[in-house]
């Protein structure tokens, strides 16, 4: 029985049970016609149930909501209703459309221009009966394609493993019973119960609420949880103002609630972002563009050679078909078939190195893209900051000031009295001790396993008490009453009494300074309560403004016997602090020419405080709001955003606008983020980087790279890898093309001048093996230079074959050709070519090749600076090639195959001295460049 048949069977059975439930007493079997009519009516009712947009649902009364979604709010949906609604609305999950089958992904690898050119060359080789060439080219293509496919497939699988977290679950009311279900099973109209720590499984309209606080930072970027209500809203504003709606993917921080599902899967607010992300095209990487350009350049070069040889041969009266065969053979020799292999291997090794540093790369060329990234746009909350509210500053009512070290909810850190820097514990300073005590008592948060259960702000006060060794002080009090915080009164208070002591009650209060101070008539001075004067109030107000302007969230604390006669204790400054290592990473990026821009939903003061703390643009900050962004025209925006380092009060659309404007201005943009609100920007950026721990599934899907441990400073390592990889590819291209041009020129000159061929077919094959084999491959795995990160970003318009590289390629090729022709002329007797002639010419060319590989290890550094033994694979490859060449010269069976003969020690020394000239000249040019053209330093604060 098929899946569809089984579903229909259960639907029928469920419907029959549902209809029979309502048969009149005394009736036997239900009549066929009324039953069918009833079935159709019920099915029609269920099919008419539609999802409710949040802005409509927030205005509905409970009764209207129940009617619109056809649900009993006390018993929930029936199983039949669930099946019918699922058939219309689908599962509560996201499906990536047009998922390509494996075979198609494999075939897509053949779309690379170089691969297509190589396949064309193989086809021509078959037509001209050069079967050995065709086989070798085909094998090279298969190796390239398979390695690229396997690596990309493995990267995708690694990502799948990362995303296989515990599947989201929920508590759902159905048929009058509370059930524990997978979130994917929900349909519109389901009744959901929420409690602390729950991930909201779908968009819900709340119908019952008890002190419910929901963390919506993944949507809004706001670190503070939102206070939720159940009341009807008269007007529906932005999603951040919908206090009676909670959204899929957000987190319950405190309290509990009950809600009706109004949107599932792609019809949720989460799904809207997902659809925007799916519509956004991912741009080609700079490496892909460079490879495309190089493929086209080599194609033109190849056809030029074919045309030239055929024309010269035809003018000389040679057979046209034989000339075509020679031309095609030379063209095939000119194409470095090892290039795609080395590019792929280099990228694979980069990906593996990044994986060891806890960075997952989803696509091979993405690593290199960071090498030319010159702008990093970063979300603030959870990316640059730890998303853990932390107390950093204390000011007591009698003027004592203290700073607090340590981040998060683990209790690590100390409280230092200023200016002496004395470490304070318990009540070593009575005023600070009483301030911390109050913050700990008027508190409902609990810290378990370094995680806060409750409000992050309250968690910060508990962590402060832990640092002062006062975390247990709330246990000496018995709480009698609580006046909860509300957005209207802006304060919270608890009424307590000391355990086992017959003393009067004491109130502890915390809240906004302007509200708390109104309940105070006294202030604390070293444990003694003194009368509060207007001058004292003005002083506290000035201090509160000072702390607020530095980006701190300020809480005032007080205690006393009555609410109207409290003693003011002081102020506590709280902030979501920068992650460890972020400041150092931003500084290094700035010095290497990469501009870091912070994009946040927070207020200006908080954003600027964090920006200054992490050293954005060396402290020269310019900020712009989302509202100001909307007022700028497209052309003006592109020029303006380059000079702005902080964007505050932004939405997902603003993030996309900023990235597009920077890209229009010619910047290569990287975007880091962790929330749903970052997903569209992550995908549209040249490279999107998501957070592995705090990141939402939708942000990971959109990104090209994932930082497993959420460490922003790992971006710096990725940039270093990206630059190093591109330099290694340039080194390889220089070596291979200089060797290829040299071999090509020798054969072309001999053909054009009607000279005997200086190299036979087997010798050319051996040179080709060295050219594309281990020595060449080992250049691609040269370790990343330590000074790479200091280099400015590569320009997006730069090709691999820059003018400088082309000059160096031709310089090496001219030296190799001249030296080889000199040996060929010197050893060429009048009687014709002998085995000694070809052996000397052949060995000379191979030695030139090996010395050329040695100098190609770096374009700028001398061999003594990078070290002989740093790349062991290269040493083994060169040694192997040298021993192989000696075997070809001295082992009799190989002498017959390669038509060589023994050479004397003097011959080898002569050839070594001559061949080393390519190395010596190249190293001297590097030395001159270092002395005459010192490297330029680029600064990151945008030009």
Active-site residues, by number, are 379
Name the nearest CA neighbour of 468 among 436, 510, 502: 436
Q: How would DSSP label each residue in 420-469?
A: TTEEE-TTSSHHHHHHHHHHHHS---EEETTEEES-HHHHHHHHHHHHTT
Pairing relation of β-strands 553-560 and 506-511?
Answer: antiparallel
Rounded to whole angstroms, the Cα distance separating 545 from 547 reads 5
Residues with Cβ < 8 Å from 735, sequence gap 6 or more?
Answer: 775, 776, 779, 852, 853, 856
Name the nearest CA neighbour of 613 among 575, 642, 641: 575
Q: Strand, coil or helix: what is 791?
A: coil
Name the nearest CA neighbour of 780 among 445, 374, 429, 339: 339
Alpha-carbon Rg for the chain in angstroms: 37
Q: Strand, coil or helix: what is 412?
A: coil
End-to-end CA distance of the chain: 68
* CB of 424 closer than 8 Å to CB of 415: yes
Q: How would DSSP label each residue in 52-90?
A: --HHHHTT--HHHHHHHTT-BTTTBB-HHHHHHHHHHH-
Helices 338-356, 113-127: axis angle to 10 degrees equals 150
- Strand locations in 585-657, DSSP E? 595-599, 623-625, 646-648
Rounded to whole angstroms, the Cα distance separating 753 from 745 reads 12
Rounded to whole angstroms, the Cα distance separating 4 from 13 reads 14
- Strand locations in 216-341, DSSP E? 226-227, 245-246, 251-263
CA distances from 876 to 867, 868, 872, 883 (A): 15, 12, 6, 10
Rounded to whole angstroms, the Cα distance separating 345 from 329 reads 27
- The DSSP output letter for 383 is I
Rounded to whole angstroms, the Cα distance separating 694 from 710 reads 7
Residues with Cβ < 8 Å from 136, sequence gap 6 or more?
Answer: 337
Pairing relation of β-strands 390-396 and 251-263?
Answer: unpaired
Neighbours of 103 (CB within 10 A): 8
Q: Strand, coil or helix: what is 95?
A: coil
Q: Strand, coil or helix: what is 834?
A: coil
User: CA triplet 159, 289, 730: central angle to 5 degrees?
Assistant: 95
Name the nearest CA neighbour of 358 among 166, 163, 158: 158
- Strand locations in 183-315, DSSP E? 191-194, 203-215, 226-227, 245-246, 251-263
Cis-peptide, bond into residue 419, ω within 30° of zero: yes
- Please classify residue 845 by burial: count the beta carbons closer than 10 Å to its beta carbon, then call 0-12 exposed, 13-18 middle and 19+ buried: buried
How are strands ordered across the β-sheet holding 375-379?
A: 359-361, 705-707, 687-691, 669-673, 375-379, 595-599, 646-648, 623-625
Residues with Cβ < 8 Å from 811, sequence gap 6 or more?
Answer: 921, 922, 925
Rounded to whole angstroms, the Cα distance separating 801 from 336 reads 13
Q: Strand, coil or helix: what is 707?
A: strand
């Amino acid at each position: 029985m098929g899946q569809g048949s089984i579903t229909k069977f259960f639907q029928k059975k469920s419907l029959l049970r549902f209809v029979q439930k309502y048969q009149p007493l005394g009736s036997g079997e239900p009549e066929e016609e009324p039953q069918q009519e009833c079935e159709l009516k019920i099915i029609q009712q269920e099919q008419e149930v539609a999802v409710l947009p949040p802005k409509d649902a927030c205005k509905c009364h409970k009764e209207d909501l129940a009617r619109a979604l056809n649900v009993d709010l006390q018993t929930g949906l029936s199983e039949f209703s669930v099946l019918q609604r699922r058939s219309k609305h689908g599962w509560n999950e996201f499906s990536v459309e047009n998922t390509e089958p494996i075979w198609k992904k494999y075939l897509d690898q053949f779309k690379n221009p170089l691969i297509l050119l190589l396949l064309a060359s193989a086809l021509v080789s078959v037509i001209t009966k050069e079967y050995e060439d065709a086989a070798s080219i085909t094998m090279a293509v298969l190796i390239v394609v398979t390695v690229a496919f396997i690596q990309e497939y493995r990267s995708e699988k690694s990502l799948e493993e990362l995303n296989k977290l515990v599947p989201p679950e929920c508590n759902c009311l159905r048929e009058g019973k509370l059930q524990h279900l997978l979130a994917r099973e929900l349909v519109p109209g389901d009744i959901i119960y929420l409690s602390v720590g729950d991930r909201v499984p779908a968009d819900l309209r709340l119908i019952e609420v008890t002190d419910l606080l929901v963390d919506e930072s993944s949507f809004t970027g706001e670190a503070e949880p939102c206070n939720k209500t159940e009341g009807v809203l008269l007007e529906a504003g932005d999603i951040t103002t919908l206090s009676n709606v909670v959204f899929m993917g957000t987190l319950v921080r405190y309290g509990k609630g009950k809600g009706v599902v109004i949107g599932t899967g792609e019809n949720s607010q989460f799904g809207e972002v997902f659809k925007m992300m799916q519509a956004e095209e991912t741009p080609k990487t700079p490496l892909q563009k460079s490879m495309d350009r190089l493929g086209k350049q080599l194609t033109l070069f190849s056809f030029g050679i074919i045309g030239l040889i055929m024309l010269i041969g035809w003018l000389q009266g040679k057979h046209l078909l034989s000339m075509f065969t020679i031309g095609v053979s030379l063209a095939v020799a000119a194409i470095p078939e090892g290039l795609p292999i080395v590019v792929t291997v280099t990228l694979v090794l980069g990906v593996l190195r990044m994986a060891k540093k806890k960075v997952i790369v989803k696509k091979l060329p993405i690593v290199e893209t960071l090498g030319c990234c010159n702008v990093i746009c970063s979300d603030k909350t959870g990316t640059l900051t730890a998303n853990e509210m932390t107390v950093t500053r204390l000011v007591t009512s009698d003027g004592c000031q203290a700073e607090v070290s340590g981040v998060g909810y683990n209790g690590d850190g100390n409280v230092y009295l200023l200016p002496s820097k004395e470490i304070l514990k318990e009540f070593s300073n009575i005023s600070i001790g009483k301030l911390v005590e109050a913050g700990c008592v008027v508190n409902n948060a609990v810290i378990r396993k370094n995680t806060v259960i409750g409000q992050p702000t309250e968690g910060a006060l508990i962590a402060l008490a832990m640092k002062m060794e006062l975390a247990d002080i709330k246990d000496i009090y018995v709480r009698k009453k609580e006046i909860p915080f509300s957005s209207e009164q802006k304060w919270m208070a608890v009424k307590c009494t000391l355990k086992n002591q017959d003393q009067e009650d004491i109130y502890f209060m915390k809240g906004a300074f302007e509200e708390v101070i109104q309940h105070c008539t006294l202030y604390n001075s070293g444990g003694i309560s003194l009368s509060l004067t207007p001058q004292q109030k003005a002083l506290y107000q000035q201090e509160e403004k000072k702390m607020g302007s530095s980006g701190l969230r300020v809480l005032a604390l007080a205690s006393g016997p009555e609410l109207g006669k409290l003693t003011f204790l002081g102020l506590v400054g709280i902030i979501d602090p920068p992650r460890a290592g972020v400041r150092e990473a931003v500084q290094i990026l700035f010095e290497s020419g990469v501009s870091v821009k912070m994009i946040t939903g927070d207020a200006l003061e908080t954003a600027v405080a964090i920006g200054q703390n992490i050293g954005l643009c060396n402290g020269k900050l310019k900020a712009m709001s989302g509202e100001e962004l909307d007022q700028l025209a497209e052309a003006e925006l592109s020029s303006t955003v380059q000079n702005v380092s902080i964007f505050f009060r932004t939405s997902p659309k603003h993030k996309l606008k900023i990235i597009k404007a920077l890209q229009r201005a010619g910047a290569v943009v990287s975007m880091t983020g962790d929330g749903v609100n970052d997903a569209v920007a992550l995908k549209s950026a040249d490279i999107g980087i998501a957070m592995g721990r705090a990141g939402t599934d939708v942000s990971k899907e959109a990104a090209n790279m994932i930082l497993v441990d959420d460490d922003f400073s790992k971006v710096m390592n990725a940039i270093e890898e990206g630059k190093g990889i591109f330099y290694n590819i340039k080194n390889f291209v220089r070596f291979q093309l200089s060797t290829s041009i040299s071999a090509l020129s020798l054969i072309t000159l001999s053909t054009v001048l009607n000279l005997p061929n200086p190299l036979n077919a087997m010798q050319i094959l051996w040179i080709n093996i060295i050219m594309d084999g281990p020595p060449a491959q080992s250049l691609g795995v040269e370790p990343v230079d330590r000074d790479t990160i200091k280099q400015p970003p590569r320009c997006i318009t730069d090709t691999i074959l820059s003018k400088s590289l082309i000059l160096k390629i031709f310089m090496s090729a001219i030296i190799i050709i001249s030296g080889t022709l000199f040996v060929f002329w010197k050893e060429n007797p009048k009687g014709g070519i002998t085995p000694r002639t070809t052996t000397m010419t052949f060995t000379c060319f191979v030695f030139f090749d090996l010395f050329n590989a040695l100098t190609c290890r770096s374009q700028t550094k001398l061999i003594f600076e990078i070290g002989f033994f740093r790349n062991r694979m290269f040493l083994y490859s060169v040694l192997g090639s040298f021993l192989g060449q000696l075997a070809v010269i001295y082992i009799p069976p190989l002498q017959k195959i390669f038509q060589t003969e023994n050479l004397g020690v003097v011959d080898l020394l002569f050839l070594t001295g001559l061949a080393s000239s390519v190395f010596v000249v190249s190293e001297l040019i590097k030395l001159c460049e270092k002395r005459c053209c010192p490297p330029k330093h680029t600064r990151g604060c945008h030009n």
